[in-house]
A and B are shown apart, each in its own frame.
Chain A
Amino acid sequence: MNISLNWLREFVDWTGTPEELATLLTRTGLEVGTIATRGADFPKVVIAQILEATQHPNADRLSVCRVDDGSGHPRQIVCGAKNFKVGDKVPLALPGAVLPGDFKIKVGKLRGVESEGMLCSAKELSLAADADGLLILPADAPVGQPIATLFPPETAFEIEITPNRPDWLSHVGIAREVAAFTSQPLKWTRPAAPQTTERDGRIGDLERCPFYTLQRISGVKVSQSPDWLRQRLESVGLRSINNVVDVTNFVMLEIGQPLHAFDAAKVNGDIQVRLAGEGEKFLALDGREYTLNADDLVIADSNRALALAGVMGGEESGVTETTTEILLESAIFQTSGVRRTGRRLDLHSDSSYRFERGIDPAGVLAASARATQLILELAGGTIVGSVEVSGKEPQAPAPVALRQGKVNALLGLELTADEIASALSGLGLTAQEVFETSTTWGIPSHRLDLTREVDLVEEVARVVGIDRIPSRVSANPAEPTKADASYDFQIRLRGRLAGLGLSEARTSTLVSPASVWSEAEAIKLKNPLGEDQSFLRSSLIPGLLAAVERNLRYGAASVALFEIGRTFHAKGREESPTLAIALTGQSRASSWRDGAAKAFDWWNLKGIIATLVPTELEWKKADAQGDLALVSTVSANGKALGLIGQLSPAAARKLDARESVLVAEIDLAALQSIPASPVYREIPKYPATTRDIAIVVPATLPYGEIEKTLQAAREALLVDIEPFDVFSDATGAKLPADRKSVAISLTFRAPERTLNSDEVTASVSRLRDKLKADLGAEFRE
């Protein structure tokens, strides 16, 4: 909402600067956005008339003028402009004036000739962005008067008003607050209620419209509004329409009650307040036709809807140049009903904005009286009868009891009863019953928000100001929570992954259908912003792959990303903390020492997962899945942890990847549940013995089978099996093409003694026999 400082000053004295007012308003709870200033507010710049102009004796481009500044003693001014003639009226900055840019005017000599001030251009007074020569004023401008009489200064504040304070939606409302916070009197009294007559049967739904009033005025002459009215409206950004419509808007901005004027000639029969028919059409004054339903309240005559109650008038019944008789409506419409209609039709107005938030019940008749008086003044005409009222003026808010102890306990203060009373009285509350420890407060009709004790505590806090409240900080032990444990687990995991060279990504929870493995198992939004954000992610991998693609397109040579976040599932646990990893490109950069770069491969990723998990892992090949051509599940102690996979070459190429793209996804709840065992295990006292074997097996035999076979031999002394070379030759030159050679290092150890060579040799020999028998392995010697 926009508030004009000049308008505000009609209701409360304010001598400070606009900025100081903004600070005050902020302290009351109003949020001030921009402050826009117009006009020329320079105390020592006056309207002057040029009496004489002569050529400067020492400068071709300067003139020496004698000007009348209204003092009776003409002044001599040196001037560089050429666009004036003798007799013109121009702005004169007197010595002591300060122009924009902190430009101070002094008496001085210009090329040897004294100048007692400066004649000004529009630009020098910030009245225009650019100017050519002096600002020539109208011939009837009053000489000697401040320039502000021609260019009245105007400051407008853009104010954001919280939904709990509809009483702030007017100039009187803001003035009331300024008055309370500056201990100034409010220079406004509510117009006396006019004569009324009861009019029954007009309102069809008393809940949606508890109070409705109409004043008939005949013989009005609709025309342009006078300057003062136009200026008032324009100063807060409203367009002037005609004197009658302008008055309704003016009164709304002055005291907060929206009004509407109907052209009585266009009303057929009696005005009714009723719910719309299902599918009823309504042509609003924005020129659009709306289709209503039975939840929309309308003001109607016997034929049709004339207005959407509290939201917008109709195109056909509005006041125009030809109108001579009007019906002036002032009413209260239920907040939630107006909100529903406005939202459903996406139709919002200054009127609905106020009705949605709540209307001062005492303002309905006051506003009607005020607007009637102004219309009679500006458009003539006479009142026909008295104000017809239907329904009942809602009661003022009920009194609220406030305990002094509650105020101090909640605010952390030691206020006296008097301090509390003075804070609330200043806001217009009245002490009705005073007890020893509490007081019952009468609530003014405009404060619909004050219904509970805590509401009054807040008022005291606002008036007293938070600066008066001391700061207190205390520490207390907190019971550890499960969330603490998972936070700690995850933050450590993040640190470890970063230490392993991976960077942390954060991708969107909302993803496209293409990013969901299975739509049936994913959760879809009812009202997404777009198709590409219509699902909750069921996996972190698609998001990470998008990040991989983005980085590759930027030319990244190495991409190693991880993300820890929630995934969402229609089946099973709905929200799961999840870790995902994506790797592609260089795992090691080329260097003078190591030669060519090495690319990430399956085993890098497998190694990372193994490093993260403090226990033995079981890997199991799984079926290809979507773009993942190679997939292995990983589990620990028989519990599934997740999977790792490699993108099919075609899918990798789609991401612009030149190397393998590896991904992993791990269920963090499962990972966290693996007990890390920080328990001492004995460090071996006796040396180990290592023997290498090299076997030739079918090229398709997985290494895992070899290791399993070795383990199945249950050699007591065998403690470690580590492959150190895998060799095959597609040409068949060194090895048949369908065979591969695997070199394995076997480590033997006994916990209680040093091994002797013979027992190790015997064990190796048994292992060789088993490999030969079970796998048909041959040995390379």
Chain B
Amino acid sequence: MEAEIASLQAAALAEIETVGDRSSLDAFKVKYLGKQGEITKLSEGMRHVAKEDRPRFGKALNELRQSVTSRVEEREQALASQADAAALSRVDISLPGIPAEQGALHPLTHLLDRAVRIFRRLGFAVAEGPDIEDEWHCFDALNTPPDHPARNEQDTFYLPDGRLLRTHTSTVQIRVMENQAPPVRIIAPGAAYRRDEVDATHLAQFTQMEGLYVDRNVSVADLKGTTEYFFRQLFGSETEVRFRPHFFPFTEPSYEIDIRAKSLGGKWMELAGCGMVDPAVFEAICQKRGDRAFDPDVVSGFAFGFGLDRLAMNLAQVPDIRMLVENDLRFLKQFSAL
């Protein structure tokens, strides 16, 4: 019996060395370890062994089974890692990647959002108002005289009911002050409309951002500091900011802001209008509200506004403003990385 065990072990261990693939290994397992396998058959021979010899043979058989089993496991692992290696060696990592579909935000959206984030750092909230406005919000409350050329049907789009498409986002200043007492710190991005023929630098519809800060003791110093902070955040700390005295009906004193920055091509660029809110605007608000919350002898404020289209155009070096509304994917996709 012991000799049989020894010879079976020798045969099995010799044979397993010749097993080279998974199916031969399975066949080997059936042949030796299966229900009708050699080792099982030999175990059945235990019945003919003398009782006192049984533990000894039992132990030997166990060792046989264990040694074969562990060799089988070793072999299985070796074959698996061989197969893994073979599979990996067939992966051609030099083939091009499969691109993930990536869309793009409009360049105006990028600029607008950067602007919003800068002002939010200073504690400005976003405000909004309707595109369809009445003359009071667009002109009267903003101290624009009844016969002012801007109210002309040549320059402003009107609706049959006498309302109009806002010519600037300054209307939102009025909308906010009607409903909120000072302090007011808001920015209002949005569309505005002028009856301009469309060309390389003009659109009949454009995007503006308005800002308003009203509180006690707001001065030109705040106007200057805030707008300088904004433009330097937007265009880089080296940005030069120049204020030119100007005239707007709804601010006094009024300035135009010119910017010179590397990111804008290093040339002076007229960019924004701003000024201290005209007392006449505050008086119009007080009258509408029926209180003195915006008494110009108590509060003061500054307002500013600038167009985003031309700015986006200059920042991205876009040659024609119409490209911003043509929605050519070859154009839009250029901004996916922004």
Contact = CB atoms under 8 A, between A and B. Distances in A.
Interface of A: 26-29, 31, 162-165, 335-336, 339-340, 343, 409-413, 452, 454-455, 457-458, 461-462, 466, 469-481, 483-484, 486-487, 491, 494-495, 497-510, 523-529, 533, 536, 544, 547, 550-551, 554, 556, 559-562, 566, 568, 574-575, 587-589, 591-594
Given A525-B159, A547-B327, 10 more contacts: A343-B154, A503-B332, A509-B191, A510-B205, A528-B157, A550-B328, A554-B330, A561-B329, A562-B103, A575-B130
B221 A472 contact: yes
B46 interface: no
Nearest to B224: A471
A340 B324 CA distance: 37
Given A26-B244, A409-B217, A589-B99, A504 B332 contact: yes
Interface in B223-278: 224-226, 228-229, 243-247, 252-256, 276, 278
A476 B183 contact: yes
B126 A412 contact: no
Contacts of A483: 125-128, 188
A23 to B, nearest CB: 10
A173 to B, nearest CB: 15
Contacts of B324: 506
A554 B253 CA distance: 50
B8 interface: no
B132 A29 contact: no
A165 B204 CA distance: 29
B103 A556 contact: no
Contacts of A556: 329-330
A587 B101 CA distance: 9
A588 B101 CA distance: 8
Contact of A504 (B100, B105, B127): B105
Given A501-B103, A503-B103, A551-B328, A574 B253 contact: no
18 contacts: A340-B147, A411-B220, A457-B253, A462-B245, A462-B253, A470-B224, A474-B222, A478-B125, A479-B125, A481-B125, A487-B116, A508-B325, A527-B153, A536-B165, A556-B330, A566-B191, A589-B99, A592-B96
B327 A506 contact: yes
B185 A476 contact: yes
Given A507-B325, A592-B96, A466 B224 contact: yes
A525 B158 contact: yes
A164 B250 CA distance: 12
A523 B217 contact: no
A551 B197 CA distance: 24
B106 A27 contact: no
B131 A502 contact: no
A499 B149 CA distance: 46
Contacts of A470: 221, 224-225
A466 B183 CA distance: 25
A478 B123 contact: yes
Most buried by A among B103, B252, B332: B103
A476 B252 CA distance: 24
A504 B104 contact: yes
A409 B225 contact: no
Contacts of A336: 145-147
Nearest to A594: B98
Closest 6 CB pairs of A and B: A412-B221, A501-B101, A412-B219, A162-B247, A29-B245, A473-B225
A527 B157 contact: yes
B131 A575 contact: yes
Contacts of B252: 454-455, 457-458
Contacts of A475: 121-123
Specify which of A164, A410, A544 lies most central, judged by the most chain B CB atoms within 10 Å of its CB.
A410
B63 interface: no
Given A462-B253, A473-B226, A501-B103, A410 B126 contact: no
Contact of A510 (B98, B204, B328): B204
Contact of B336 (A411, A457, A498, A594): A498
A413 B90 CA distance: 77
A503 B106 CA distance: 7
Contacts of B319: none
Nearest to A528: B157
Contacts of B108: 506
Contacts, number: 236
A659 B276 CA distance: 57
Nearest to A467: B243
B132 A502 contact: no
A570 B92 CA distance: 61
Interface string B53-84: 00000000000000000000000000000000
Contacts of B326: 547, 550
A253 to B, nearest CB: 22
Interface residues of B, number: 83
Contacts of B88: none
Per DSSP, chain B at the interface is mixed
Interface in B189-232: 191, 193, 195, 197, 204-205, 217, 219-222, 224-226, 228-229
B7 interface: no
B279 A454 contact: yes
B77 to A, nearest CB: 28
Nearest to B229: A473
A524 B126 CA distance: 29
B317 interface: no
Contacts of A507: 325, 327
Which of B99, B158, B224, B300 lies at the interface centre, i.e. has the most chain A CB atoms within 10 A of its CB? B224
Nearest to A452: B279
Nearest to B106: A504
B221 A461 contact: no
A487 B183 contact: no
Contact of B332 (A26, A480, A505, A544): A505
B160 interface: yes
A614 B163 CA distance: 39
A95 B160 CA distance: 73
Contacts of B146: 336
B195 to A, nearest CB: 6
Interface in B270-299: 276, 278-279
A412 B222 contact: yes
Contact of A568 (B127, B132, B255, B327): B132
B135 to A, nearest CB: 13
Given A501-B102, A503-B333, A566-B191, A575 B122 contact: no
Nearest to B176: A481
A523 B132 contact: yes
B124 interface: yes
A484 B225 contact: no
A446 to B, nearest CB: 16
A411 B221 contact: yes
A498 B104 contact: yes
Contact of B243 (A466, A487, A525, A547): A466
A500 B105 CA distance: 12
Contacts of B222: 412, 472-474
Given A412-B219, A472-B221, A551 B123 contact: no
A707 B194 CA distance: 54
B147 A526 contact: no
B95 interface: yes
B113 interface: yes
A162 B252 CA distance: 13
B224 A472 contact: yes
A509 B247 contact: no
A31 B325 contact: no
B24 interface: no
B109 interface: yes
A333 to B, nearest CB: 14
Contacts of B278: 454
B36 interface: no
A559 B205 CA distance: 25
A566 B145 CA distance: 30
Contacts of B95: 592-593
B195 A527 contact: yes
Nearest to B279: A454
